[in-house]
Homo-oligomer: A and B are copies of this chain.
Amino acid sequence: MEKIDCLKNTPVLRDDERLELLAKLNQTFDGEKIGVNTLEGGNLPRRGEILTIINKLLELVFPGYNDKLFSLDELSDFFANEIKELELLLFDQICRAMKHGCKGDNCADCNISMQAKESVKKFLSNIPDIREMLKLDVHAAYVGDPAAMSYDEIILSYPCIKTIAIQRFAHLLYLDKIPLIPRMMTEYAHSLTGIDIHPGATLGQGVFIDHGTGVVIGETAIIGNNVRIYQGVTLGALSFPKDACGMLIKGKKRHPTIEDNVIIYAGATVLGDITIGSNSVIGGNVWVTESLAQGTKITAKLPEHYVKVGK
């Protein structure tokens, strides 16, 4: 059989054709500047650096589970080194995020630099607490899943641990009103695991999300302690309040509050600024748009809705 050699190093376009195409492409940058990010002005946080930061944070809370391996003796040195690198990386990205789109008197370089340093300090100081929270999340997965064989298996392979860890870090930056970076972080987690938790959502202790693909947890959702959630669950908004001009009002509480010890089974949808009382159980595929008292169990009365044909 003849050997193929498709790649011939000759350009496809004539020079004039290429120039015409480039002229048309450049025109799309006239007028509205949607989708241009250059070195000038407030250039944006960089996806690659955000990923590096996320991976360093995950190494700090679960050391040795990812790329690097070291002995117990080296652990303190490893931490010291990672923290130093995180200081620089976080400062650079947070500074960019703050400068980008900043308006008014607070945007002088010295001001932004000072604010960014404060934000980095505050963020770093929370890492030990986040690690304590994540231990409880790992334990919640262990007691919540009959297929889980060990803590190590959960840390190595359960998608919820990675997602929740990243969201807990992103939430710190969200609370500190850092633009852009929190959502970049949670979307990285979403891309890895199919679990989409907005950085604004407030998560309690010992949250377990099993399987997780398709889970959506909205910006103003509040989740209590020891809550268990399965794949395909939405904690969403029922409707979006608009202002007098018909534009959406941003930031208003519009997602559910889930109290302690609630279980929400696969595919259930809980919408609006409602409260699901503690110890409630919401069955699979159930649709909830009003508050439930503590201890409510709600399941779909399904069989009579089905038509069976055949034996």
Q: List the B side residues contacting A69 at CB < 8 Å.
A: 37-39, 43, 46
Q: List the B side residues contacting A254 at CB < 8 Å.
A: 146
Find out whether the CB atom of A41 lies under 8 angstroms from the CB atom of B155: no
Nearest to A90 among chain B residues (CB) is B12
The oligomer's copy count stands at 3
Nearest to A148 among chain B residues (CB) is B250
Contact of A101 among B147, B152, B157 (CB under 8 A): B152
Could you say which interface size class chain A belongs to? 35 or more
Least CB distance from A220 to B in Å reads: 9
Contact of A26 among B7, B79, B271 (CB under 8 A): B79
Find out whether the CB atom of B309 lies under 8 angstroms from the CB atom of A37: no
Q: With A and B bound together, what is the CA distance between A153 and B6 in angstroms?
A: 19
Within 8 A of B (CB), among A154-193: 155-159, 179-180, 183-184, 187, 190-193
Nearest to A80 among chain B residues (CB) is B22
Q: List the B side residues contacting A40 at CB < 8 Å.
A: 1-3, 71-72
Nearest to A88 among chain B residues (CB) is B9
Q: List the B side residues contacting A296 at CB < 8 Å.
A: 308-311
Q: With A and B bound together, what is the CA distance between A190 and B29 in angstroms?
A: 29
Q: Does A111 contact B (CB under 8 A)?
A: no
